[in-house]
Amino acid sequence: MDESALNRGVHRLTLSDSTKRCLEALREAAGVDEGPIERHSARVFFIMERLATQASIRIDREVAACAALLHDIGLYEPAASARFYLRHGRDSAQEIIDAFSWSDERTRRCLDAIELHHRLRPQWNAGAEVELLRLADLVDASRGVVTLDLDRSWLRSLFRAIDRRGLQRELLRHSLRGAPCMTRGAIGILLNAPRRTVHP
Ligand SMILES: [Fe+2]
The 10s digit of each residue's pLDDT in 123-170 is 999 999 999 999 999 999 888 888 988 999 999 999 988 988 888 888
Q: What is the DSSP letter of 177?
A: G
Rounded distance, CA 57 to CA 90, Å?
25
Ligand 1 ion: residues within 5 Å (CB): 72, 137
Bigger pLDDT: 191 vs 123: 123
* Average pLDDT of the segment spanning 12-32: 88
4 alpha carbon to ligand 1 midpoint, in Å?
Answer: 24
141 alpha carbon to ligand 1 midpoint, in Å?
Answer: 7
The enclosing H or E element of 159 equals: helix 152-161
Please check whether residue 164 lies inside any domain of the structure.
yes
Please check whether residue 116 lies inside any domain of the structure.
yes
At 152, the amino acid letter reads R
Q: Give the pLDDT of residue 179.
A: 45
pLDDT at position 98 over 70: yes
What's the CATH code of the domain at 96? 1.10.3210.10
Containing domain of residue 85, as a range?
3-191
Bigger pLDDT: 10 vs 110: 110
Rounded distance, CA 168 to CA 147, Å?
18
97 with 108: CB under 8 angstroms? no
Count of domains in the chain?
Answer: 1
13 alpha carbon to ligand 1 midpoint, in Å?
Answer: 17
Please check whether residue 198 lies inside any domain of the structure.
no
Please check whether residue 199 lies inside any domain of the structure.
no
58 alpha carbon to ligand 1 midpoint, in Å?
Answer: 22
Rounded distance, CA 115 to CA 73, Å?
11
Please check whether residue 65 lies inside any domain of the structure.
yes
Please check whether residue 7 lies inside any domain of the structure.
yes
118 alpha carbon to ligand 1 midpoint, in Å?
Answer: 9
Q: Give the pLDDT of residue 1.
A: 44
Q: Give the pLDDT of residue 51.
A: 95
Rounded distance, CA 159 to CA 147, Å?
13
Please check whether residue 196 lies inside any domain of the structure.
no
69 alpha carbon to ligand 1 midpoint, in Å?
Answer: 9
